[in-house]
Amino acid sequence: MAFTLDLLYSQSNDATTLTVTDDANTYHAVDNPTGWETGGATNPDPADIVISTDTTAGKHHLLLTITVTDKNNTTTVYDTLNLWDHAKVLDSTFTGFTDASDLTWAINPSHLIASSTAMGDSDDRLDDGIYNMVYTLQDANSGVAVDSLDEDTLVDGDVRYDVYNKLRDVSSIHYLNELTDTSREVMEALLAYTYLQALEASAAVALTEEIINMLYTLDKLVSDGSSYTW
């Protein structure tokens, strides 16, 4: 089997950061023949990933292009991140990747730039939406791709933060009477939480348009409330 890229995603609790982690892991001839290989006899070596200005033959550039379709169904293609360069932005002492465990990157709104405009500041929340991730390892000299991954992931940290705030804001009196309390405060919080669970359960199987519609609806539920009389 040939070398194969893979990614994992994790959203921070404050919705400001998406952590992207390479999940190809370390090469093993039997247990993981598609992983990164120190020494690079069979598969690419993380140590051969270089800065964007290095075009040495036999070295590699590792790239990530993120396209976001937000809850308003607006699509924005952000500038491609060279992940060696991005690692240097995150840590000024960075000098290169050593092995597969080094291949993880934090991305906040200030890192996502389209037409010279960032999604936001570093402490802003990331826009919710479907994030299309194109993750590519290419030859540093020729630009020919060694392997590329193209997949979507749901980012819903912004609205999730608000939903959990609604749950936290339910007064202790309502909590103490949870079995009989059908006040608007409790029911609206529970409706938003249930809808959030449905959104996240659907993310793996639903079409992009359906997810965007659900995300828009949940955002409106949190900001404006429902029309139910309860």
Q: Is 78 left (phi over 0), alpha (psi -120 to 50) or beta?
A: beta
**Per-residue pLDDT at 206:** 66
**Per-residue pLDDT at 181:** 55
Percent of the chain surpassing pLDDT 70? 92
**Per-residue pLDDT at 1:** 59
Tell how far CA 204 is from the center of its chain: 14
Separation in Å, CA 49 to CA 84, 127, 129, 134, 139 = 7, 30, 30, 17, 9
Confidence of residue 46 (pLDDT cuts 50, 70, 90): very high
104-130 pLDDT, tens digit per residue, is 999 999 999 999 999 999 999 999 999
172 has pLDDT over 60: no
Q: How far apart are CA 109 and CA 213, in angstroms?
A: 23
Which of the two residues, 170 and 36, has the higher pLDDT score? 36
Dihedral angle of Cα 187, 193, 195, 201, to the nearest 10 degrees: -150
Q: pTM (2 decimals)?
A: 0.90
The average confidence (pLDDT) of the chain is 92
Low-confidence winner among 17-31, 54-68, 76-90, 185-199 (lowest mean pLDDT): 185-199
